[in-house]
Amino acid sequence: MMSLERSPRTTAERDEPILEVRNLQTAFFTEKETIRAVDDVSFDIRPGETVGIVGESGSGKSVTARSIMGLVDSPGRILQGSSIRFGHVETVREYAEAFPNRTVDLESLRAEYDPNDFFARAAVDVRPTDLGYERADDVPLEDVVAAGYGDALGVGDGDCVFVTDGSPESPSSIADGFVELTRLDGEAQRRMRGGRIAMVFQDPLTSLNPVYTVGNQIKEALRLHQGLRGEAATREAAELLEDVGIPDARRRVNEYPHQFSGGMRQRAVIAMALACEPELLICDEPTTALDVTIQAQILDLLAELQEERDLAMMFITHDMGVIAEISHRVNVMYAGEVVETAGVNDLFADPKHPYTRGLLQSIPGRQEGDRLQTIEGNVPTPNQPATHCRFAPRCPKAFADCEAVHPASVPVEEGATDHTAACLLYPEELPTAEAVARHRRRADTETRGDTE
Amino acid sequence: MSRWGYFFRRLLLSIPVLFLVMTFIFVLLRMGPVDPVAARLGPEATGAEAARMRERLGLNDPLWEQYVDFVTDFLVLDLGQSWVVYADWEVTTIVMNSGPPTLWLGFWAILLPLFIGIPLGFYAGLRPNSWSDYTASVSGILWQAMPNFWLCIILLAVLRQTQGGGWLGFDWYAFGPEIRSITGTPSLDFLSWSNPFGAVPFPTGIDWSALAVDVKLILPPALVLGSASMAAELRIGRTAILETINSNYVETARAKGLKSRAIVWKHVFRNALIPLVPVITNEAFLLIGGSVIVESIFNINGLGRIFFRAMVQGDLPLAGALLFIFTLIIIFLNIVQDFLYTIIDPRVGYER
Ligand code: SF4
């Protein structure tokens, strides 16, 4: 069932990432405890690329997706220092035009920004290590403002569009920049949702409103983002249904969700998500509720649509088989952290992190002996900042230091920038003691915040 | 099956119910504890007079013939005569006289909760765990916990206190249209009728001040009668909103970029109404029972009060006929309920 023939595109041949997630931290504040559902997650998505996020339930996959969509509800909150940058140039131009008051020209700010001086200021309560850098000198201005520490430089509360190349005054001249998703609200946020980033949810049976026709719900999106109404909208909706492989689309447009089968409903949901031609499609376990044959059809459909439209896709699942089928790059999440990142071939051929290995072993037909191996135990609820490896209690390779040092994401071996793991055993070429020392140094600077 | 096929099947189902109730009333009348002859002539009546009465009432015919007569009479709304309460009056006349005040009361007792209970419940549901939510929910429970007869008396006492300027100078008697007594039967003659199209009278004008008096008279008893429904609708409305808000299709709608106002009006309200439909109609059934007490205390000469007197005085034909009318009302409400379902929820009648 594994098909690995699809070649992952390497980062170098692809253009700039369309989405950059940096140090994303999303926490839920309850009376009893603070649950750090997403704890310092970073990854990129490029146009035409599918990035898989895999992990057991409770690993923070869905919260990551919701954070990108701005759908995290109270008592949950994205913490300061997190940044999700949407780098699609046309979107940046459109936003600069629509929200001139929320647009900042980073070029003109750069003159005032001196990293060493900035981090030394008393009013600035952020350290370079919080942003993932060891030294203040290395921290680019973009990271500072995107993470929400720009007020000391005069960035306003509502500012969310940052232009790095071109002038905000004439939007068409903008050649580079980004929209910071964590700073969006109101109209700016609604335009992004559905219009630029669309999402397909897990359960097709309940993600359509039962009292309106499927066509009505697709047309709602069309009217919102493309201003289509009446006949034109109906025609477009039928076309979309046809595109996602629903036969007799002209008639089915006027049917209610309960008249569709599960697989057809998920197709309709996908049609709705694509209605506004988003750049990025987030799929949150879109096939989990469907049976295996339908699941394969939906995966094929998504791959096909991606090809046609050069969509960037983020695909969340707990199913390693599905990940192998659809993604180009994979992020393995565990207890709110990304523990391993690699191209899909590398990951399946040469998994490094003990958790990834465990996951792969629990796929039927892949393990050695006759018995299906599973990882004992459950994902812990991350309610404290990590001071050790969160996987240690379940890890077959755990050793004493795993309880004392928090592993940082490092290349699995010299020069393997495309394959990182957060485990004290890596980088592989170093003797373990040295590797541990390196992780400890990283962890120490993060907790103590020495900026020397 | 189509939505409307479902509706008509439900409609047909009410026919057996009607026959069941008629049979029950028949059994009650003919085999019940009260002898119809004695009830009319007094317990001492004997001999020729009683025999003549038996003959006149058809009590000597075979039972099945009596049953057929009885059912046909009821179906053409010839409901017989009262024995005791309004001796020898046609029940139909009594109903024509006392029905309108009861309908008027029932109308307001359904309307008030509908327009107070549901909006409050929706409001609370949209702001869960806020102070306005707590206030609405707690007062809803308190309101529901107070029995009708008790509420009646307290409300009457409070309103009477205000005569001649009570709390903050508020005087219920002088507030709006003047009334002399806060209880009594509304006259309901605010419509002027004429027959421009031949035999059928047609309302041609409204006397607004008479209408105002009638409304003012009915508000306190309607408030009491509707109190339970109001609280129930508030509670269920709140839960329905909460459930709908957390549903996946609302999240999908948010992910589409809809404004929250559009989401609430289009996606939340209509779905939240579905669980409210049975609550509204069920509460309407309860009104019939409640009207017996409320009409008695508020001195309204309506069907509820007459039913009560007919039961107490053993006036079985009157009680039976009223029971039949109540059944008709309930069947009608059931039909309304199915109709509402059919309109709001496209899944009605859909079998997978
Ligand atoms: S750091 Fe230790 S416990 Fe954690 S995955 Fe690596 S070996 Fe296992």
SS3 letters for chain A?
CCCCCCCCCCHHHCCCCCEEEEEEEEEEECCCCEEEEEEEEEEEECCCCEEEEECCCCCCHHHHHHHHHCCCCCCEEECCCCEEEECCHHHHHHHHHHCHHHEEEHHHHHCCCCHHHHHHCCCCCCCHHHHCCCCHHHCCHHHHHHCCCHHHHCCCCCCCEEEEECCCCCHHHCCEEEEEHHHCCHHHHHHHECCCEEEECCCCCCCCCCCCCHHHHHHHHHHHHHCCCHHHHHHHHHHHHHHCCCCCHHHHCCCCHHHCCHHHHHHHHHHHHHCCCCCEEEEECCCCCCCHHHHHHHHHHHHHHHHHHCCEEEEEECCHHHHHHHCCEEEEEECCEEEEEEEHHHHHHCCCCHHHHHHHHCCCCCCCCCCCCCCCCCCCCCCCCCCCCCCHHHCCCCCHHHHCCCCCCEECCCCCCCCEECCCCCCCCCCHHHHHHHHHHHHHHHHHCCCC
What was the pLDDT predicted at A9?
42
Count of structural domains, chain B: 1
Q: Would you say the CB of residue A386 lies under 6 angstroms from ligand 1?
A: no
B39 inside domain: no
- Write out the E strands in chain B: 191-194, 202-206
What was the pLDDT predicted at A450?
41
B170 or B155: which leads in pLDDT? B155
Q: Which two tokens stand for residue B318?
A: 């009157």
Atom of ligand 1 nearest to the CA of A339: 5
What was the pLDDT predicted at A66?
92
DSSP string over B30-63: HHSSS-HHHHHH-TT--HHHHHHHHHHTTTTS-H
CATH code of the domain containing B198: 1.10.3720.10
What was the pLDDT predicted at B194?
62
Hey, whose CA ends up nearest to atom 5 of ligand 1?
A: A423
- Which residues lie closer than 8 Å to B265 by C-beta, 6 or more apart? none
- The pLDDT mean for chain B works out to 79
B28 inside domain: no
Hey, whose CA ends up nearest to atom 7 of ligand 1?
A: A398
The closest CB to that of B345, out of A201, A208, A211, belongs to A211
By most ligand atoms within 8 Å of CB, the mutation choice from A425, A428, A430, A436 for ligand 1 is A425
**Smallest Cα distance from A339 to chain B, Å:** 28
CA–CA dist A278, A196 (Å, integer): 4
Distance A395 CA to ligand 1 centre (A): 6
The residues with which A24 forms a beta bridge, in sequence order, are A41
Q: Would you say the CB of residue A407 lies under 6 angstroms from ligand 1?
A: yes
Q: Which of A196, A197, A211, A269 to mutate to test the interface with B (most CBs of B within 10 A)?
A: A211
B331 inside domain: yes
What was the pLDDT predicted at A371?
54
B85 inside domain: no
**B249 contacts A208? CB cut-off 8 A:** yes
Distance A422 CA to ligand 1 centre (A): 8
B50 inside domain: no
B279 inside domain: yes
Instruction: Give whole-number Cα distances, A228 to A179, A240, B258, in Å.
Output: 26, 14, 15
Taking a C-beta distance cutoff of 8 angstroms, is the pair B294, B10 a contact?
no
Task: Report the helix count and the strand count for chain B, using DSSP H and E.
Answer: 14, 2
Q: Would you say the CB of residue A391 lies under 6 angstroms from ligand 1?
A: yes
The secondary element (H helix, E strand) that includes residue B252 is: helix B248-255
B339 inside domain: yes
**B258 contacts A220? CB cut-off 8 A:** yes
**A192 contacts B257? CB cut-off 8 A:** yes
pLDDT in tens, B249-281: 998 898 888 888 888 888 898 888 888 888 888
What was the pLDDT predicted at B352?
41
φ/ψ bin of A345: left (φ > 0), alpha (ψ from -120 to 50), beta (otherwise): alpha
Mean pLDDT of B87-97: 79
B338 inside domain: yes
pLDDT band at residue B303 under the 50/70/90 scheme: confident
What was the pLDDT predicted at B9?
83
The secondary element (H helix, E strand) that includes residue B134 is: helix B131-145
- Show pLDDT as tens, one digit a residue, over chain A (452 residues): 444 444 444 433 447 889 999 889 999 998 888 899 998 899 999 998 999 999 888 889 999 999 999 988 878 899 888 889 998 888 888 888 888 888 888 888 887 777 777 777 767 777 777 777 777 777 888 888 888 787 777 787 778 888 888 887 888 888 888 899 988 888 888 889 888 999 998 888 888 999 899 999 999 888 888 888 888 889 989 999 988 888 888 889 999 998 888 888 888 999 988 887 899 999 998 888 788 888 888 899 899 888 888 899 999 998 888 898 899 999 999 999 999 999 999 999 889 999 999 888 877 666 555 555 667 777 888 888 888 899 988 888 888 888 888 898 888 888 777 899 999 988 888 888 888 888 888 877 765 544 33
**B254 contacts A201? CB cut-off 8 A:** no
pLDDT in tens, B175-196: 666 666 667 777 666 666 566 5
Q: Which two tokens stand for residue A5?
A: 């023939």
CA–CA dist B9, B28 (Å, integer): 30
Instruction: Give whole-number Cα distances, A26 to A81, A199, A312, A422, B254, in Å.
Output: 10, 19, 23, 19, 19
What was the pLDDT predicted at B230?
85
Q: Would you say the CB of residue A204 lies under 6 angstroms from ligand 1?
A: no
The residues with which A52 forms a beta bridge, in sequence order, are A315, A330
C-alpha angle A42-A44-A50 in degrees, rounded to nearest 5:
125
What was the pLDDT predicted at B44?
66
Distance A339 CA to ligand 1 centre (A): 10
Domain limits for position B281: 92-344
Quote the pTM value: 0.79
CA–CA dist B18, B304 (Å, integer): 20
Compare all CA atoms of chain B with the CA of A69 and give the residue at the minimum distance: B255
